[in-house]
Amino acid sequence: MRGVVCYYSGSGNTRLACEHLAARVGIDLDLVDVVDDAKVDLASYDVVGLAAPTDFGGMPQRFETFIDGLPQQQGKPVFLLNTFGFMSGRTLRDMADLATSRGFEVLGGHSLRMPEDYPPMIAIRLGFAGQPTRGGVRAFDTFIDGLASTLGALQRDEAVARRPIRIGLLSAASRTRARTAAREDMGDKSVDAELCTECGLCEQRCPYRAITLSPKPVFDMGACYGCWRCYNQCPQHAIYTARFRGGPYYPGPSRRTRETLEA
């Protein structure tokens, strides 16, 4: 059996969780970044995984666009993975609804708490730097082991029980905000010309192609969806907003986070 996980990972958290799943699930599993490869051929895979973080209360716009653009499936099995910091919200259920609308058969899904990568939350001491906990990883491993059992049954052409998508009451009561609200919350971006080295990383890594170099970064706020990736990952901390300059930042998973998921 061959599988693929199509993932979106603005900070590296979701990618790290996908790597942990791939190492444990027991089948050949390719990992595909939907920003780099939006045209992945699902026909050559027996099972598909969809993985994304909660971004401003819902799915990242880039990830939602990817799923919407997939060919209609005929019951291809899919499993779901969501990472989150403060709250997962309705993301996992929305992922399941969208996947079902594209003709996938949802096997189950899991939400894994990771460190928060949203600077406004980090600024008010809600960064969750201690996530995931050992208990959180154990719960994730239980999900992966159950998924491995289900995939084994599928390989043997046995009937399998679909695991319902469950989210907490608080998450169920939350509302998914318009993606343009994230852009408005972030506000206009600027660049410190003295700090900027014109390395081009912000242009290369922007999932919405909203940055061009001329020769300093120029921001197309009409195309931006407020993901904070350029701000977080600028190696010189040259990008800033009206609210935040000089931090806080989330450049990517810490050594502690990586070791917890590698243990």
For domain 2-174+254-262, the CATH architecture is 3-Layer(aba) Sandwich (3.40)
Supply the pLDDT for residue 163.
76
Using only C-alpha atoms, the chain has a radius of gyration, in whole angstroms, of: 19
pLDDT of 171 above 80: no
Domain range annotation of the chain? 2-174+254-262, 179-241
Average pLDDT, the chain: 93
Go through the chain and tell me how many residues it has.
Answer: 263
On the CB side of 64, CA atoms within 13 Å amount to 17
Class of domain 179-241: alpha beta
Query: What is the per-residue DSSP string for 32-88?
Result: EETTT-TT--GGG-SEEEEEEE-BTTB--HHHHHHHHTSPPPSS-EEEEEEEESS--
DSSP 8-state assignment for residue 195:
T
pLDDT of 173 above 70: no
Report, as an integer, the average pLDDT of 43-64: 95
CB environment 31-40: b (16+ within 10 A), e (fewer): bbbbbeeeeb
> pTM of this prediction?
0.94
Report, as an integer, the average pLDDT of 122-147: 96
Supply the pLDDT for residue 48.
98
Supply the pLDDT for residue 34.
96
72 near 102, Cβ under 8 Å?
yes
DSSP 8-state assignment for residue 163:
P
pLDDT of 175 above 90: no
d(CA 65, CA 56): 16
